[in-house]
Chains A and B, each alone.
Chain A
Amino acid sequence: MSALDYAAADGTALVEAVRGGRARAREICERTLARIAARDPAINAFTRVLTEQARADADRVDATIAAGGDPGPLAGMPFAVKNLFDVAGLTTLAGSKINASRPPAARDAFTVAAIRRAGGVLMGTLNMDEYAYGFTTENSHYGPTRNPHDPTRVAGGSSGGSGAAVGAGLVPVALASDTNGSIRVPAALCGVFGLKPTYGRLSRTGSALFAASLDHVGPLGRSVRDVAAAYDVMQGSDPVDPASAGRPVEACLPRLGEGIGGLRIAVLDGHFAKGGQPEAFAALAQVAAALGVSRRTTIPEAARARAAAMVITAAEGATLHLADLRTRAADFDPLTRDRFLAGALVPTAWYLQAQRFRSWYRAQVAAVLREVDVLLAPTTPCPAPRIGQERMTLDGVEVLTRPNLGVFTQPLSFIGLPILSVPVPTAGALSLGVQIIAAPFREDQVLRVGALLEAKGAAAAAIVG
């Protein structure tokens, strides 16, 4: 019935085929289910596949089209969500064993509902680090998620299931959360695009919190237009989320082709130019060259910002889970438990001084962003480490693997800047990403830069198979 090349199609191509009558949503849903069944056992991205619900959603899209109605801007697009998003009728695990005994969610999270209203077909829920406290998705309860490019390696985290599901070509779009790098790190290590919008831009209602001062939600996708399309339909103010910025919808998809004329772009120096393996800086250099960027600039005190983010994360995360830490610490994942317990013992002065430093640092970065529109930095300091790898060498120094995957992401999410991690074609088999960073609420700029890089072939999703 169609000449649609499923292996090559991004989500937008699938939607165009459905809306144009060249494919049925149900047909795409069945192909997606078959691919998940065939490939997911090797990577362990999904914790739950919603077979019957997905079929019903797809049939509803087809019925709307048959009746001459508008099936929505994401009609028939398969997607999946990190298992910290509420899905009506499912218990929200947030990567934990503890939450598995809770009652099912009464309704979909704000963002999940938005994608489904737009015609998206929810295929299931995805693995993550317990309560989002990690960069590797080596979940002791549900097993590690494996990197689709090399199953002996991690997918990144905490949204590793989201990165792996898109990188393995199981779904074109996945929703995830990012507190210190949890969208950007798996996007980079799995070879896909990941957008962490401005803090407060997308509602977190119905998604389990981790460290509320720093929690964001956003999409990963196999193309810039997929990410932009999903992001656009999830916008909108939400009085229920106290962090919601309350801004009107500012659609980015129509602006992707505007190019980067007039944008002042610079590579980040200092903290972001050391402490990484040469491949990470080579990927950055490739992107800078494709954009013709030679300017460099420095954000002061970025390493201190990372330290402050660690303190805030530990204190807020531990306080959120204090009741369970008191009564059932043994039920936590051994990879998060000791860190949560320690976080509960953070002195108030450390926490409040970290919050005050955050204000100071925001003002310093604002000064930089008055001179430059877009900043570039590596996403991770290295390609995907091996599962279980405790230590790695960065710049000749042996460091702990897990916390150091966020060395370049933490100082930026700390003040809520919008960031797109773009996958960069590399000489090696493993993927790397580069962060495109802009001023608050300028998601349009990071997506425009990403779209140009994609058009030039300087950024491209690496989809397995």
Chain B
Amino acid sequence: MIDHSSSDLEAHVDAAAKVIGLPIAPAHRPGVVLYMGVLAAAAALVMEFPLAEEVEAAPVFAPAPIQP
């Protein structure tokens, strides 16, 4: 399992928020880092699970016919 240290999580939050233009107030940052850790732990369970290449995400894009 990937080990997410607290400094990695803080670095990710700061950098990713900047890249997508999402200001995070200093008062909110500790909570965001905390929950990023919860999500990272959940994601680690998903990412470590081997899936065959042919396993495709379920949502199907349906081209919509044009109504005259």
Contacts and interface: CB of A to CB of B under 8 A. Distances in A.
Interface string A304-330: 101110110010000000100110011
B51 A338 contact: no
Contacts, number: 106
Contacts of B20: 322, 344-345
Contact of B58 (A314, A330, A339, A358): A358
Contacts of A330: 25
Contacts of A306: 42
A306 B46 CA distance: 10
Interface string A352-374: 11111111101000000000000
Contact of A311 (B42, B57, B62): B42
B28 A341 contact: yes
Contacts of A403: 38
A392 B25 CA distance: 30
A343 interface: yes
B59 interface: yes
By size class, the interface of chain A is 35 or more
Interface in A263-309: 301, 303-304, 306-308
B58 A345 contact: no
A213 B59 contact: yes
Interface in B16-64: 16-17, 20-25, 28, 31-36, 38-39, 41-43, 45-47, 49, 51, 55-59, 62
Contact of B39 (A326, A342, A349, A352): A342
Nearest to A359: B58
State the majority secondary structure of interface residues on A: helix
A345 B57 contact: no
B32 A341 contact: yes
A358 B22 contact: no
Contacts of B39: 310-311, 314, 342-343, 346, 350
A94 B22 CA distance: 23
Given A307-B43, A345-B17, A356 B36 contact: no
B46 A359 contact: no
A131 to B, nearest CB: 15
A257 interface: no
Contacts of A301: 49
A325 B49 CA distance: 32
B57 A338 contact: no
Nearest to B20: A344
B58 A342 contact: no
A348 to B, nearest CB: 11
A400 B65 CA distance: 48
A342 B36 contact: yes
A310 B22 contact: no
A263 B39 CA distance: 39
Contacts of B59: 213, 355
A337 interface: yes
A337 B31 contact: yes
A304 B57 contact: no
Interface in A30-72: none
B35 A358 contact: no
Nearest to A301: B49
B32 A304 contact: no
A330 B43 CA distance: 27
Given A337-B31, A356-B57, A350 B22 contact: no
B46 A322 contact: no
Contacts of A329: 23-25, 28
A89 interface: no
A308 B57 CA distance: 12
A345 B45 contact: no
A357 B56 CA distance: 9
Nearest to A354: B46
A353 B51 contact: yes
Contacts of A388: none
A242 interface: yes
B44 to A, nearest CB: 8
Given A213-B59, A339-B35, A345-B12, A353 B47 contact: yes
Interface string A147-171: 0000000000000000000000000
A350 B47 contact: yes
A339 B24 CA distance: 12
Contacts of A350: 39, 43, 46-47
B58 A355 contact: yes
5 contacts: A338-B32, A345-B17, A345-B22, A350-B43, A350-B46
Given A329-B23, A346-B43, 4 more contacts: A213-B59, A311-B42, A350-B47, A353-B51
